[in-house]
Chain A
Amino acid sequence: MSSNNMADPKRQNKILRYKPPSTESNPTLEDPTPDYMNLLGMIFSMCGLMLKLKWCAWIAVYCSFISFANSRSSEDTKQMMSSFMLSISAVVMSYLQNPQPMSPPW
């Protein structure tokens, strides 16, 4: 509450525009999770495609979901979509080549 005995504190002439803080000066403040998850997702989906491992492909799908959930709004949606598509294609290709169900590791 601005004190009633003081004049109005607002000053139209002192307005300063918002400048988004540059992340280059503070790389530690940035959350690295979406970038790591994106990279992991790509690695797992490549493994799943090349080595025909179903569980790799499923983990890749999870990684791309996690990366999407943690992403910043300024990030490119194309990157997100491409990692999604890659992981889903890894799952589909694994099942097309080998329709057997996945065996649990235990």
Chain B
Amino acid sequence: MMVPLDPADKLTSQRRIAEGDTVVVYERHDSMRTVAVRAGGVLQNRFGVFRHDDWIGRPFGSKVFGTGGGGGRGGGGKGGGKAGGGFVHLLAPTPELWTLVLSHRTQILYIADISLVVAYLELVPGCVVLESGTGSGSLTTSLARAVAPHGRVHTFDFHEQRAASAREDFERNGLSSLITVNVRDIQGEGFPDAHRAAADAVFLDLPQPWLAIPSVGLMLKQDGILCSFSPCIEQVQRACEAMRSCFTDIRTFEILLRTYEVRDGALNGGAANQEATVGALPQKRRKFTAPGENADTAQKNSSVMVRPCSTARGHTGYLTFARLCVSESQN
């Protein structure tokens, strides 16, 4: 269960993969996909052919081997198992993994933006949050986790097919009781009256968010929080102008994540490594070392080098947050 709705749903070491479960098949750090487990099912990828039946009954997190294929590249295939088979890991799905594997019908928000939005909107279990547009449901899934089990995410998109795809995804991920998806042009019509003064927070990812701001003012509870995401600063400017009349504490941020890569410390001329290759890519050592065991003192003394990754995700958008002013006329 991606987001447990009940204590019995949550992932523990006692849980086993069962038919009907969704697993995230982890091939490499940049290659993952979700698979619905079914008896007799088969997954075929560059590492081999994997039978779902081998997965059923195993714990999540297991490393599983396939048959044939791949030539063992990246899969290891060392130490038994099926000869010549590569391997994958089977992980339990979470909103973070979902963001990395979901099908992009639109440009999506990634974890850095998502986590800041969830925290800054002060979402806790039980909250009601409105979102437009739904897009591919990346943020929506994380919003659902934040408000579960009794809160609600009401998400709106003006594109009927994309709304339907999102609804299907949420259904498959067990989130339908937390998320309602509706087709509506929020820029043109605003949010529905049914949610007036009922939302703890509202999130906008629209091309012209300033058109929706007055409606947001009616939807939020007092001191409720708005977040508007826009790629261009001109959009931010117009949105901020529209916020001035009813909102306070208007702040705009950008968040970026810089990733680093590590490798063994031995440069040319160092003695710690067997292979001191010039310009070597990060290499995973084949030797298994249990943590805490200092069998190899040379390894203990070797340094580790770290540097920023050469490719990094760049600008996604600006996040503008604001609080609804408290007014005496609001009841």
A and B assemble together: no
B residues contacting A by CB (< 8 A) are none
Task: Give residues in A with beta carbon < 8 Å to B.
Answer: none
